Every structure is written in structure tokens, then in C-alpha cells.
Amino acid sequence: MIRACLLLLAGGYAAQLSRLLPDSDLCSLLFVASIVLLCLRRLRAAGWMLLGLALFLQAGSAIVADRLLPDYAGDSLLTRVRILDFPRHTPQSVVLLVAPLADRRLPPRSRISWFQPSEVPAIGEIWQFEIRLKRPRSYSNPGVFDGEAWLFREKIHATGYVVEGKRNRKLGNGTPGFLNSLRAQFVARASAATASADIAAVVVAIGVGARHLISREQWSDYARSGTSHLMAISGLHVGLAASFAYLLARLLLGLLRVPGNLHAVAVACGVVLAAAYTAVSGLGIPAQRAALMLLVGALALLRRRHVQPVSVLAFAAMVVFVRDPVAAMAPGFSLSFSAVLLLIWLARREAGRPRSRRLAARLAEGLRQLLVVQVFLFFGLMPLCAVLFQRVAWLATPVNLVAVPLFSAITVPFTLIALCVGEWLEFPGDAALRVAMTSIEWLHTLIRLLTHLPLADLTLAAISGWAWPLAVLPCAWALLPKGWPGRWIAPLALAALILHAPRPPAYGCLDAHVLDVGQGLSVVVETNRGTLVFDTGARFPSGGSVAEQVVVPFLAAKRIRRIDWLVVSHDDIDHSGGVQTLLDYANVDALLAGERLRGIRREVLPCRAGQHWVVDGVRFRMLHPTGAGLQDGNDASCVLLVSTGAHALLLTGDIEVEAERAILTREVLGTMDALVVPHHGSLTSSSVPFVETTSPRLAIVSAGFANRWGFPKARVVERWRAAGAEVLNTATSGAVSLRLCASGGVQGLRLDRDERRRFWREGAR
């Protein structure tokens, strides 16, 4: 069982590396071949791997095939939909997961935003919407959250928004179903029981698995404190539900003096309630794993058979994978099964310890075991956390020493009581809900105190190359038995992993990264000891910014917490939208701008033609604007020339023809190695003289995919190509990274969509 599980998962993980999706016939052929190999004893190992490969590719093929047809992308579609899940709220919108009703133009599941809604839809309701959709797509940048992979594994086939108008209206309440009705009723009760939205959000998450109310700030605090796992319904919740059902069944059957095997009936009741609770919780991966392990354990208990816990875990992993192969991509899959595997390993190590009968000694032993478990899990899960999240939550051990017993003894049991009896016995249900919420308030107080400590959250550099062993070695402490030599490697490896940073460019070289920020611009320029950020991307109507999603994670993955120069070309929202985000994240030595920045309360130096500085053999020179004060409009954009030796990169902002003419009049530019195309490729920029004078090897457009302005314009693209430039567009290539050195010009050109191409992502074009 264990070997079969490992081989099956290995095949599934191998399928995730596929850059191209085979057609459905080949997927079917792979599946048939795997069944044949499984029937041949000597080739059974290959059969399990091939089965994992075939199942994942078949599931992935179905998801890709269900995506929105290109013919309908960008069109206004009037349609009727059912609300599939609880709406997620942002300051200016609600995000809805919807399914069409008898409309073949729409895919099975779409994620749409409704800005300033007239009424917030509820789960199960039927609505008429006018919507605009596009195929699933997200930003593509190295070291940044892969939004397209998330959309793929969540089986979201289109994204879009509701077009404002009077045709958007509710058609009916629909039939949400028993489970969703139960979940909605609990959400309403929990929200009404407290004035704190944060407390209600946690109760709802651990009660019915609905995490739509948890705010971005809460998730950040949970991640920093290592308590995010408490928000997922897992073995603790399912086990308590089964125990509650077992004890209640034994009590009632005993009182009624029912003949027969009361133990077996009570065990069956426990399994049934655990399965029902797993369904109510939304069938999360940890809950599925716990319910399956409980089922196998109960069957073994009733049949008086001994089964190895590792075999039970392997069986659960195989069932979860076969049911939904794409689930293996989720971090929760790896973390959930790995954590249980570590606990099984630890239980074996601790099995031979002597036990005392004295109460004080038993309490001390319990505290020791709790500490050992938390430290064991911290080191054992370190490699996965480093790879998946690029962070070390060193607060996890001390916080979980309090949080896990608190949740186990108070929060989860009383939440389950409120869930089970609240609809029929209002007073006991409300009382249990208040007790659970009080315990959550205690935990929140502790988390707020600790997460504001210095270095509460240690962000790691992106794991690559020789850093991979550093990510694996910390688990040596967890895996090696006590007394083995080499266990001291774990803390040393952890320290090395925390201190690891990518190698900066050599003296006289620069690394330039034109990030994929959608319709906007952000460029990061690194020298051997310095960092310049040119523009910060857009700000959203919901209040967030692209800088939070892209620029800050990119800098964090490179361990950059100091920005020597933050240059904001001008105050258009798609260029200056993330200024405050970067000021909050990093120490910014100098802030320069082409025009006044609204809402920024710190000294802003005006960009002026003639400003220059040299660092690490790289020269920075401002070409535009002229004048002593801050100007207004696109033509006030800062234009920065970055050069090393005879090779140069030109950053242009949103300058238009008039500014281009002025620069050509004042400056002798010459040929560029690389250039960011002015104003995203608009017809008001990239004049023929400017293009022919600079004639770069690379002309890079920063634009949003299928943006409403149609940037870059075809005439502009042809103009740059006619001048001998290779035109790259972040909308289709993802982030564009290059190294420029005095000795060799452009080196190491990397297109993120091409480097990380997978069959569910759009490739570089």
C-alpha cells in the first residue's frame, strides 16, 4: 500500500511538470496502459506511476477543455447564474463563484467581481447578470504566487466582472441544498453573535469550513504566527465530532437498553457523523484525509484487525488523489499528509518511554510531549514551508503551545456543540458559541502581541540551486532518532536557509526585471549593492494594489528590504498605485517623481534632466523632464537612462511624442540594448524619429492582457520591429528579466511564462 501510494503520487507530481497537454485520446491510452501494467506483477510499479500520470493529465485536460471559449472573451453576456459559494467581500466589491443556467456560452464555473453591488447575493440564489469574462489568467513573475495554478486547481474556467446596469437583478432564492442551507444558517448565527467580524470569521471557518469572511490582515497574522492550519477543518475537528457521536450513541443506547453490540453501533454512529461533518465543512483535503483514516480505523476496530497507521494514511492519500488528482497541487495536500506522517513517526519514537502514575509527573510529561510535537513539526515541515511559502514562522512553536490545547479543549468542541444543537436549542447553542468566541479572543490577543515583535516573520529567498539542500536538511532533526550523529546539522541548516540570498550581479553589471503587473508598469533594477524600483504598478478600486501582489513578493523573494531609489514616473494610478505599499515594506532612501504624488507624506524629489549618479560601475542619468518643479501629465514622466560601459537600458514612463521630440533635441541617445516602450505602446508615443534613433535590440511593452485600450497598438509594434527590435509584451511573456554588462551587452534573457510553462498556463509568445 505504501509503495503503491508513493508511486501513484510520483506519477501525479511528474504530470504537473508537463509543458504540453496530450490530447484526450493519448490520455485514455495512458490510462488503459496503466491498468494493463498493474495486472502484470513485475511491471506493477510502472503501472502505479503511469496511473498517477494518466489520472492527473485526464483531470487537467477536462479542466482546460471546460474553459471559456475565446469567441466569447471580452463580450457583454446577459445570462442567468446560480451562486455556488459564499460571496467574498472587499471594500468596493463582492467576488462570486457562479454556474450558468442553460447557457452554453459560459463555462461550468466562473469567478466574477461585482463592484458596488446593489444587493449582496447569497449562496444558492439565482441571478441575472450582464458580465464580461476572460479565460483564466494571472500575473506571471518569478518568486510570486502562481495565480493561474490556483485558478486551475480550483477548477475556475473563467474570470470577469459584472457590467453596471439595471439588468442585474435577483431572479429567485433557488435551492441551495440541505448542506449549504445549514452552513448559511450557521454563518448568520455566528455573525449575529458578535460585533467582531474577525472573531465571527474564525468561528465560521472552524465550524463549517467557510473562510470567506477572513480578512487579508487576519491571514497575514495567522501566517506570521504559524497558526493558519487552525483555520482548516482537519483531524482534530473530525475526531471530536466522531467522539461526540460515539459517546452520545453509547449513552442513549444504554439508557434505552437496546440489545446487541452497542460498541459497534456507537462506532458506526461516530463514522456517520464524521462523514456528515466532512461534507458540511466543504470537503477540504485535511477533512477528507481525517474522515477516510477514521473509516478505515473503525472498520479495523470492528473486525479486530490490526492495521499500520502509515498504511491507513497511504490509503487515504490514494483515495483523495484518485477522487481529485488536481488536489495534489494544493499546499494543503502536502502539508496535511506530511504532518500526519511526522506524527506517526514521532509516536513510534515515543512509544517506549516509561509512564508515571503520579499526576504531577503525568502533567509534566504531557507538557513535554506537547513541546516535542511542536518542535518536531516545525523542523519536519520546514522544507515544505520554505518551498511553498518562502517564509519561516519561528513563532509557530510558542504560539501553537497555547493555541493547539486551547482549540482542542475549548474552541473546537464548543463550536461543534453550537453547530449541532444551535438550530433546535437556541440558548445552549448561543452559550456554546460565546464560549468558543471568547477563546478565540484570547488567541487573537496573543497573536497580535507576538506578530508585532521584530523579525516575527522571516521571509526566505526563492529556493533554487544549492539552496535546495538547505531546505531539506532542517528536517533531519525530526527524522533522525535521538542519539544519531548529525542532528546538529538541522539548526545550522535553518540558519543558513534564513541567511541565504540570491547572488547579486557582478560589479559593472545590472539585472533588470520588467515585472508583469497587468496594465501598468514596474521595473526593478539591481546592481551589485543597490536597488532601484521604477514605478509601482496600479492601485485597485477595492483598495489593494498590484505592488502587494507582485512587487513586494518579488523583492522579498530576492531578500531586498532596502530600496535605494524609488522613481515614480508620474502620478497616473497605473504607475504610482503602489508607492505607499513599497514605503511601508522597505526602507526607501530616495523617492523621485515626475509630478506631485497625492497622498504621500514624505519628501518627494523632482526628477530633473541632468541628475546622475554612479553605483557599482553602473551609471544612472535622468533625461526628462526639464524645469525646477514637478510638472503634470504623461509628458512629465521621468525618463531614466541606465548604462554600463557602452550598453544601455532606457526607462520611459508614459512620455508622448512631444517629450520624445524634446529628449532627441537635448540628448545624443544612440542605440539602446533594451528599452521599455513608452505609454504601453500607445499611438501617441513611439514616434518614428524616437524609434529609429534608439533602435533597441529589445523593445519591452508592459501592458495588461486583452486590455480595453488595445495596447500595444499593431502599428507601434511594427514600427519597433522595422527598427530591428525584438518586441516583448509582459501580457504574453510574463516578467522579462535580463542582465546587462559592460563587457557583453544583454545576457541571460528570461521570459517567465516560457520558463515556468505548464499545460494549464499560456506560453510565451
pLDDT in tens, 303-319: 888 889 999 999 999 99
Quick: pLDDT tens for 503-531: 899 999 999 999 999 999 999 999 999 99
For the chain, give every residue range classified as CATH 3.60.15.10.
Answer: 509-755
pLDDT band at 173 (very low <50, low <70, confident <90, very high): confident
> What is the model's pLDDT at position 654?
96
Q: Distances in Å between the alpha carbon of 723 and those of 84, 640, 744, 749?
A: 52, 21, 21, 20
Q: Given a cut of 60, is residue 547 above it in pLDDT?
A: yes
Q: Residue 263's Cα: distance from chain center in Å? A: 45
Determine the topology of domain 509-755 in CATH. Answer: Metallo-beta-lactamase; Chain A (3.60.15)
Report the largest interatomic distance among the alpha carbons of the chain, rounded to a whole angstrom: 101
626 in Cβ contact with 606 (< 8 Å): no
Phi then psi dihedrals of residue 141, to 5 deg? -140, 145
| DSSP assignment of 216-283 | HHHHHHHHHHT-GGGGS--HHHHHHHHHHHHHHHHHHHHHHT--S-HHHHHHHHHHHHHHHHHHHTT-
d(CA 388, CA 765) in angstroms, rounded, equals: 28
pLDDT in tens, 709-718: 999 999 999 9
389 CB-side CA count, 13 A: 21
Per the model's pLDDT, the better-predicted residue between 74 and 489 turns out to be: 74
Delimit the CATH 2.40.50 region(s) of the chain: 70-176
Query: What is the pLDDT averaged over residues 416-421?
Result: 87
C-alpha cell of 154?
Answer: 480550483
Question: Which CATH architecture group holds 70-176?
Answer: Beta Barrel (2.40)
pTM over 0.95: no
pLDDT at residue 32, rounded to an integer: 93
At residue 481, the pLDDT reads 73
Query: Across the chain, what does the average pLDDT equal?
Result: 89
Whether the predicted pLDDT of 631 surpasses 60: no
Which pLDDT belongs to residue 727? 98
Cα–Cα dist 139/146, whole Å: 8
Q: How confident is the model at residue 638, as a pLDDT?
A: 97
Does 432 have pLDDT greater than 50? yes
Question: Tell me, what's the pLDDT at 764?
Answer: 44
Cβ atoms of 5 and 314 closer than 8 Å: yes
Count of positions (residues) in the chain:
765
The helix or strand, by DSSP H or E, that contains position 414, with its residue range, turns out to be helix 412-421
Rounded to an integer, what distance in angstroms lies between the CA atom of residue 581 and that of residue 551? 9
Give dist(CA 579, CA 591) in Å, integer: 9
**pLDDT tens across 55-99, in order?**
999 999 999 999 999 999 989 999 999 999 999 988 788 999 999
